[in-house]
């Protein structure tokens, strides 16, 4: 990941109270993250930072869109992302097991919020992303429909061939049973009642 000074906040120079920041997230922001699932988009981030003596409270509000892949046809589509998130940064010298806290150690004097912004944008993407009806890639839909029909035929064929009577199954099982297991099976059929 490349660092970008635009997303670094020198919190030691901030006075106690509320401070507001705005960020315009564009394609160049996503280029800084090699592992990001998002490559393009335009998102407005509003950050209200409240500095207290023992902590910082960050209220992030995001709104905009990103490009993602349609879950049906895999073509790109524009997806709206909106959300409000709260992060508590606590001044401490000991690590915390609390996942809702980010610890700021005494030697730190600035925060890089770029990864936090990326995370909030990523979790704002809907779990199911689809084009509007009729807007999907028709060629891909035809291939999928053909594949689904072939798969259903194979499943139907397997189900019908496996529908044999219980008696046939028992006879078949007896003919193919390993003699060692057959002896155990006979023992289990001669169950003794509990006293």
Same domain, 113 and 155: no
Residue 37 forms part of a structural domain:
yes
Co-location of 20 and 90 in the same domain: yes
Q: β-pairing, 41-51 with 101-104?
A: unpaired
14 is a domain residue: yes
Of 49 and 98, the structure prediction assigns the larger pLDDT to 49
Q: For residue range 10-22, list pLDDT tens digits in order.
A: 999 999 999 999 9
Tens digits of residue pLDDT in 116-138: 999 999 999 998 888 888 888 88
Residue at 194 is within a domain:
no
Q: Are 21 and 108 found together in one domain?
A: yes
Distance CA 175, CA 78 (A): 61
Shared domain for 27 and 120, answered yes or no, is yes
Q: Tally the domains of the chain.
A: 2
Q: Which residues contact 137 (CB under 8 A, 6 or more apart)?
A: 70, 73, 74, 75
CB atoms within 10 A of CB 28: 8
- Convert the pLDDT of each residue in 39-83 to its tens digit: 899 999 999 999 999 999 999 999 999 998 888 888 889 999 999
Contact 65, 41 (CB under 8 A): yes
Predicted TM-score (pTM) above 0.75: no
pLDDT band at 153 (very low <50, low <70, confident <90, very high): low
Based on the fold, state whether residues 56 and 117 are members of the same structural domain.
Answer: yes
Q: Does any domain span residue 99?
A: yes
Domain span at 44: 5-124
Q: Within this chain, do residues 79 and 161 fall inside the same structural domain, yes or no?
A: no
Report which DSSP code applies to 13. Answer: G
């Amino acid at each position: 990941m490349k660092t970008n000074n635009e997303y670094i906040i020198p919190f030691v120079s901030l006075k106690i109270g509320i401070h507001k920041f705005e960020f315009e997230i564009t394609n160049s922001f996503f280029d800084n993250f090699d592992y990001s699932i998002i490559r393009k988009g335009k998102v407005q981030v509003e950050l209200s930072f409240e500095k207290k003596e023992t902590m910082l409270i960050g209220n992030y509000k995001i709104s905009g869109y990103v490009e993602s892949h349609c879950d049906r046809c895999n073509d790109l589509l524009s997806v709206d992302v909106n959300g409000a998130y709260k992060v508590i940064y606590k001044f401490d010298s000991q690590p915390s097991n609390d996942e809702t806290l980010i610890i700021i150690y005494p030697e730190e004097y600035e925060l890089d919020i770029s990864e936090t912004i990326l995370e909030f944008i990523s979790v704002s993407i809907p779990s199911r992303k689809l084009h509007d009806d009729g807007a999907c890639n028709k060629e891909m839909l035809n291939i999928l429909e053909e594949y689904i029909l072939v798969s259903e035929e194979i499943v139907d064929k397997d189900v019908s061939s496996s529908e044999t009577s219980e008696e046939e199954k028992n006879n078949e099982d007896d003919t193919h049973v390993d003699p060692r297991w057959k002896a155990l099976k006979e023992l289990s059929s001669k169950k003794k009642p509990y006293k």
